[in-house]
Chains A and B, each alone.
Chain A
Amino acid sequence: MGVVGNSIGLMFGLPGQGMHLHLDALSLLFGCILLPQVVAASVAGMRASVAFWAFVLGMALALLAADGFTLIFGFELMSAASWLLVMQGDRKPATLYAGVAIFSGACLIPALFLPASSLAFVLIALGAGAKAGLAPLHSWLPRAHPAPPAGVSALMSGGMVKVALYVLIRYAFINLAPAQQPWWGEALAAAGALSVLIGALRTVLEVELKTALACSTVEHVGLITVGLGLALYAKAIGDAELSGVALQAALLCAVAHGLFKPLLFIGAGEVKHATGTTSLNWLGGLMRGMPRLGALMLLGAAGMAALPLGPGFAPEFLLFHAVIGAAATGGILARIGFSALLAVLGIGAALALGAAVRIIGLGFLGRPRSLHAAAAEDMRRGPFVAMALLGALAIPVALVPGLLLDLLNPVIMLLAPEAQTPPLAYAPVTLLILAGLAALAAGFVQTRWGVRGLREVPAWNGGFGRPPAWLPFGDPHTQASATGFAEPVMRVMGKGLLGAGMTDPAERFLLAPLFRIQTRLIRLAERVRRATIRERLAFVFAVLVAFLLALGLGQGG
């Protein structure tokens, strides 16, 4: 091991070159995002898995890489190890997963060795975007992320997509900076907006808890990418304040998402352990049997829905301000585009709110929809410690985002040296103080004029009678199901955007044609394999004749 310049050389790797590691502010930030998730996932039960630690090693190598070979080695190690982990859970999405990993590798490897140019950026964006689950290359993510055990799902959603985004950030902002163009940022923002819309909509519609969480990851990757795209655009046109705010939004969103999404995934794993299912149609009333899990999930869901005083609001707040800043400058078409982006982000935020309410309201509140949900016992110790750790770390993100933004400043200076970062106008502590005042006033009114005590009675339920004795929690069909809750959204937005079959547009327009081409090629190959000896001889003869003819014509001419 030797130190060359400011990077550390390792003894193995390419002959004559070795591998080089380097730690700067950006790697450090993403390392800090990764660390709590790794600790949480290992505490939650992945400690003994070799593939898990290979996965972690791959991510660490990709973050610390100082040369292209190390980066690709770490990235592919991460892909391969996570493929093994996905395969342990479910074989079906593993093939698709491997295909996407190969595609992203095939885009990244040439891009790393190209000179700084638009082609290199496109390849990086395709490769890293496919791995991060950026629309339109996202349709594998809701299939593959829920497959492995909860700890791995947590790390894949919270960590792996961040590593892919890290590659995108490092190349788009630092390595390819000499060739930067405004349209790079606009393209990224458009892809991000598409991810937000599709991800958020599918989060509302999915019935499986883990699939819904994976769709929410697509949405958050979209939010981060919108921030990155705006920052890249601002950097190219030289808008110092916009690039600062947009980078703050993207990086803070990455930090917050890296805390609440693993928390939610580990919680989903506990739901699966306690009830044997993650389908919201079979859950309900889990808050009664699993109060600690319910409280932690509530915190995570508040982050997912970007509610004020939750960990997800400050990044969303910054992002809205960044979009408004972007719409105030530039050409008229770009400005109209940015105002549409604002509408998409607003719709996405409200969809995420509906999705989070649906997960908490149908999974944890109300009456149990199955005996398994009714008999659920509280969570095991390991996952509880893991979730409590992530939850505790999410609280400073929620309450003092301003301090956190100060810590992000070195990273922003590294990515966009001229960026300016205005102070945050969102003050959660002030809101808390005001809420405390209102609560005090309400408490005073209650003690002065009100009566105390609560009395438990059968629910009024619009005057309907009690359920029969053989249905201890009432008829499960009389309360809203997960499908029923999403029905109005499905009817108004889903049918227009997803089509009647509720298939993802990316699957319909991207995967399905690919699949058709593959079928056709297989049929052709089969045809060739089954050719009779006469056909083969005739083919060889025809080729020979054609070749000689061409040769003769060439000589004659």
Chain B
Amino acid sequence: MLAFALALIATALHISLCFAGAPLLMGLVNKLRAWLLGRRGPPVLQPYRHLAKLLRKSTLVPDTATDLFTLWPLGVFLALAVATMLIPSFATGMLTAQAGDYVTIVGLFALARAATMLGGLETGFSFGGAGAAREALFGIFAEGALLVLLLAFALLAHDTSLDGIATVFRTAHIGISVSLGFALAAMLTVALTETGRIPTDNPSGHLELAMVHEAMGLEYSGRLLALLEFAGMLRLLAWMNLIGTIFLPFGMARAAEILSWPGGLALWVGKLLVMAVALSVFEVSRAKMRVFRVPEFLGAALLLGMLASVFLFVAARIGA
């Protein structure tokens, strides 16, 4: 009973921290990027102000849009919100652990992608259509790579839920294996593409011919845009949590032991900080790719993902 109550509290804490902290993370990344480029940058709290401003603005609907126009931002938001709830952040053993299978998470990301693409096609103008077509292309390789990665994790952890993978990777002595290195490279590639960062897309780009994510939300305004923007922030946090849970599970708290929480929370914030710095440094040191280079970039991720499992097979063969 006590364990359940603690797990409930931990889950509630996890969900509320993630939802409240997602804009802060985005603000932090923007600030760091600006610093690295030698600018002063917007205040770290700017995303909150931005969202509050958008909520107070009136929401416009293009006259060429159908009745489902308002549905797509909600779909994107809900899919990513559920994904964020299911991916463990600072502790393992939370109430959402049972439902948080890796394949479900991949499915939720796909659902968010589908809703974004439909939102782009909704108004029937060329920017949205072009963005959706490119997103469909990127999605093919990204999803393939993500699923292949699961094989490597499942072989190492004998579990396919994120919670189980984190628990095994934290306690068992996996060591630094070549496979996990490949898997990390593949995962980072997919993460950069899915969150729309440089080198595949430019988060600060407006009205470029080569933009992808931004293009699909161009016709949205007011509270619908706020939903889309907030979903984008949740997406960044969810991906950082995903990478942190799988590759940096050390120091994660256990939901049933309240004493381990402060350490887990502090380490979680530390890991997010490190990943934010790494992301900003990577982004300012890279140029954006041509659209048709991205499939090659993601194809390499797919191959690395497969190599990760193949190395494990070979290792098992040699070991046995």
Contacts and interface: CB of A to CB of B under 8 A. Distances in A.
Given A349-B143, A350-B110, A434-B96, A425 B101 contact: yes
Given A309-B111, A365-B66, A438 B143 contact: no
Interface string A338-357: 01101111110111011011
A317 B104 contact: yes
A336 B317 CA distance: 12
Contacts of A339: 148, 151, 306, 309-310, 313
B127 A451 contact: no
B9 interface: no
B154 A328 contact: yes
Interface string A73-106: 0000000000000000000000000000000000
Contacts of B122: 361, 365-366
A462 B218 contact: yes
Interface stretch (A27-35, A43-51, A397-405, A481-489): A481-489
A264 to B, nearest CB: 16
Interface in A428-466: 430-431, 434-435, 438-439, 441-442, 445-446, 449-451, 453-462
A349 B310 CA distance: 22
Interface stretch (B37-45, B52-60, B260-268): B52-60
A553 interface: no
A291 B66 CA distance: 9
Q: Which of A287, A351, A364, A438 has the most CB of B within 10 A?
A: A438
A308 B106 CA distance: 9
A362 B155 CA distance: 41
A473 B56 CA distance: 31
Contacts of A484: 129, 133
Interface stretch (B112-120, B235-243, B274-282): B112-120
Interface stretch (B28-36, B76-84, B195-203, B245-253): B76-84
A274 B132 CA distance: 27
Contacts of B107: 306-308, 313, 316-317
Q: Which of B56, B125, B134, B306 has the most CB of A within 10 A?
A: B125
Contact of B125 (A309, A317, A353, A459): A459
Interface in B280-320: 291-292, 295, 302, 305-306, 309-310, 313-314, 317
Contacts of A451: 55-58, 222-223
Interface in B114-157: 114, 117-118, 120-130, 132-134, 136-137, 139-148, 150-151, 154-155
Interface residues of A, number: 86
A482 to B, nearest CB: 10
A332 B314 CA distance: 7
Interface stretch (A113-121, A234-242, A319-327, A541-549): A319-327
B103 A317 contact: yes
Interface in B134-192: 134, 136-137, 139-148, 150-151, 154-155, 160-161
A291 B108 CA distance: 26
Contact of A285 (B66, B103, B150): B66
Q: Which of B98, B147, B207 has the most CB of A within 10 A?
A: B147
B126 A350 contact: no
A493 to B, nearest CB: 7
Contacts, number: 273
B63 A459 contact: yes
B64 interface: yes
B101 A357 contact: no
A6 to B, nearest CB: 41
Nearest to B104: A426
A204 B135 CA distance: 13
A541 B211 CA distance: 80
B71 to A, nearest CB: 9
Q: Is the interface of A mostly helix, strand, loop or mixed?
A: helix
A478 interface: yes
A375 interface: no
A438 B68 contact: no
A453 B59 CA distance: 7
Interface string A39-75: 0000000000000000000000000000000000000
A469 interface: no
Contact of A327 (B52, B108, B291, B309): B309
Contact of B218 (A287, A460, A478): A460
A450 B55 contact: yes
B74 to A, nearest CB: 7
Contacts of B68: 287, 294, 365
A324 B64 contact: no
B70 interface: yes
A480 B126 contact: yes
Nearest to A306: B107
A210 interface: no
A454 B305 CA distance: 46
- What are the 9 tightest A-B residue pairs by CB atom distance, in nearest-first order? A480-B129, A366-B124, A361-B121, A459-B62, A346-B147, A354-B136, A367-B124, A438-B81, A346-B144
Given A350-B141, A357-B121, A455-B58, 13 more contacts: A287-B67, A294-B66, A336-B310, A346-B145, A354-B136, A430-B96, A434-B86, A434-B99, A439-B74, A442-B227, A479-B124, A485-B132, A489-B140
10 contacts: A324-B151, A347-B144, A350-B110, A361-B132, A364-B66, A425-B104, A451-B57, A459-B63, A459-B125, A462-B125
